[in-house]
Structure 1
């Protein structure tokens, strides 16, 4: 994983249709890794799964999380249109039933 770029963080949570399907999870992971390996804009590329929650405030209902950082909001906009991202959506959107995205920019002091 490359260094975290605090200029722009893109955090995505995915809920797969069948989170217990090893084949579905494998297909999702392969497609996601292929996309991230070929993205010209994504810097930090973190793929996660929920840990066992030890507190009530922790939402572990998702199947996968993705944290991607960018050098700028413009780079994030270009990422949305790039071929590897569009191919990932085409290949994998049938595997999920819910996606939530949280974008944030660093506080500038």
Structure 2
């Protein structure tokens, strides 16, 4: 009997856990992922960080094409293979490469670059399509 109770609890926990992790990812579109890393000139400056975050969030709020919109900062590196040298990361997904190109050309994107490009020294972009 104890064995069946254990199996029931194990299955219940796994199903509940699966449901919790699946929900936030339902907006993720694996067709096209656009990952951008920014290195700010003055990453210790609270004013620069606030200006950058405000501009980036405004851009994400007004983008007509971006589906998943994730903005992050590097955690403390726990392994040698983790590059935590960037200041901000942006991960955006699109339904297609064409939608990503429209995102590049839309007014909110151009305004973000105009408002914030003076704040960064380096930007690296990694685009990928799902397999």
Per-residue deviation, residues 7-44 of structure 1 (Å, max 9, x unmatched): 00000000000000000000000000000000000000
Structure 1: unaligned runs, 5 residues or longer: none
Partner residue of 2:56?
Answer: 32
Partner residue of 1:16?
Answer: 40
State the shift of 1:3 in Å. Answer: 1.0
Per-residue deviation, residues 48-100 of structure 1 (Å, max 9, x unmatched): 00000000000000000000000000000000000000000000000000000
TM-score (norm 1): 0.96
Whether 2:69 is the aligned partner of 1:48: answer: no
Larger RCO, structures 1/2 (Cα 8 Å, 6+ apart): 1
Structure 1 residue ranges, 4+ long, deviating more than 4 angstroms after superposition: none
Report the structure, 1 or 2, having the larger helix content. Answer: 2
Computed over aligned residues only, the root mean square deviation of the Cα atoms, in angstroms, reads 1.0
Larger radius of gyration: 2
Alpha-carbon distance in structure 2 between the residues aligned to 1:28 and 1:5: 26
Provide the aligned length of Structure 1 versus Structure 2.
107
Report the structure, 1 or 2, having the larger strand content. Answer: 1
Alpha-carbon distance in structure 1 between the residues aligned to 2:118 and 2:48: 10
Structure 2: unaligned runs, 5 residues or longer: 1-23
